[in-house]
Structure formats: C-alpha cells, structure tokens
Amino acid sequence: MNRLNIACKVALGSTLAFVVVDLIFATLFTDSVLLWTPADTQLTTPPSLVMTAHGCVNKVCAELPTTLVGRIKVNSAINKTLTWRTLEDELSYVQHGGEWRPQDSPALCLPRHKVAIIVPYKNREDQLLAFLRHIHPFLQRQQIHYGIYVVEQANTTEEFNKGRLMNAGFVEAMRQHNWTCVIFHDVDLLPENDLNTYRCDLHNVRHMTVAVDRYKYTIGYSAHMGGVVAFTPEQFKTVNGYSNLFWLWGGEDDDMRNRSAFHTGYEVCERLVNRTDA
C-alpha cells in the first residue's frame, strides 16, 4: 500500500457515497465479544440474461480479468489542484453514490464479487480526493460490482471514533445492497498492484495491508490488523463488529485481531498487499 501524506467540508457527488452519521447509530454493535484458498473466494453469480444499456449480458466476469495490469506506479504527492469538480468529470462513468457494475460498462459481464468499500473519514479532503481518483479505476479493472462509502461523524467537534464509524458504515452499506464482501479501508492507503484483488475469503478474515512502504514493505508489527481488512458480512457479525470504546487514533484494529483470531476462531489471512507515505 502507498500511504498518502496529509497535506472539510465534502459534498455528495457522483464519485462517492458520503454517509454522515451520528455515533448513536453505531451502537448496534456492543462491546461484548461473540463466542485463502483461491477456490474459496469465487463468489460466482450464476449466468443469466441481463439487459443493460450496452446490450444483453449472460457471461460471468473472469476471476482474473485480462484488464489487470499488475504493479502500478503510485504518486504519493498531494495534488492541490485536484477538485471535486475535476474528479467528477474524470469519473463521470461512476454511478451517483460511488457505485459501479461491470454489466453496465463495456466489460459487459456479470460480477463474481459484490464489494462495499467503507472509508472512515475526518478532515483529510486532499487524501480523499487522491484515494477516489486512484481506487475507482483500480477496482474497475478487477471487474467487481462495488460501492464506496465514506463515513464521517455528524459532530466533527467530537473526538474521532473510528470503530463506531466503521460499524455505522457497515449498517448503512448493507441497507442499500446485499454485498457479499465488506472492506474497511484507510483513506491514506493506495493499493499498488491490481493483482491484489479486493474480495473476501469465505473462511478467514483477510488482512490486506501486510506490505506497506512506510515499514519497508513489511507488516509493521506482528499483531497489526489495521489499514485494509476484508470481511464477509457473516464474519463481521460473528466478531460483533469493531469496538465502540476506542477514541482518537488506534486500538480498535488490535482489538479486532483479538476478536477475530482468539475469540471466534477465524484465521487472519495475510497476503501480499502494498505501500505508504504519511
């Protein structure tokens, strides 16, 4: 992963879903803890005839599409000239609310994976612009149906509670679609290789930031489980979501590793990912 340097007010635009939540909505998850193989990740949509603006679709997208390019050069410098207007013009093919489906594009295939990307956010507008510019084409090359949910506290004067934001984002995302995979994603992390597929492991929680440039492409420390983490909805409910008790920065990710690995018996699957710069 590439971590962007930090150099707000953000409006709902065609390039993202911006969910402003009061923290009370996140209390669905209490703080009690409820007691990869490639084949396991193939959530295949059965072939069926679907009518789209591009014509009839009855084929399933490839597990590894030919549109993938592998390693990507990432510019970690913040572009101060990038605005919401220019970004929306660049990403005009993205549906209002930050959603994209391959059957509505020239790819013309039915997605194997339906993925919600949940981004907890506070006062990082430059990083959010850079993230959206990078992640949309990255995900589209993987030919998945995805939606991006950027979640901000309604009261921005309160201390940041990342766990509650991620819980609220999960609830809002699942209200809108029957997503089969939910990925919690820091706004300052950019994937550097599109062969790092954004999908879930059906049996294990997937920690996707195990090679980060800030840590010389290592995991940082052995108990780390922050940055980018993928759960199926069933896995996230089983671990009872993130803790609501951690304010300011840090703690909720280490607690999640304990919930996942020690209290529910999931293996935390750690695979090659990416780079950072903050």
CA–CA dist 153, 72 (Å, integer): 33
Q: What is the pLDDT of residues 173-191, one digit of tens each?
A: 999 999 999 999 999 999 9
Average pLDDT value over all residues in the chain: 77
State the average pLDDT over residues 7-18: 38
pLDDT of residue 168: 94
Q: What is the pLDDT of residues 116-129, one digit of tens each?
A: 999 999 888 999 99
State the average pLDDT over residues 110-115: 95
pLDDT of residue 107: 86
- Beta-carbon count within 10 A of 145 CB: 23
- Beta-carbon count within 10 A of 90 CB: 15
Q: Quick check: 260 pLDDT over 60?
A: yes
Can you give the three-state secondary structure of 239-275, one letter per residue?
A: CCCCCCCCCECCCHHHHHHHHHHHHCCCCEEECCCCE
Nearest to 149 by CA among 13, 251, 19, 8: 19
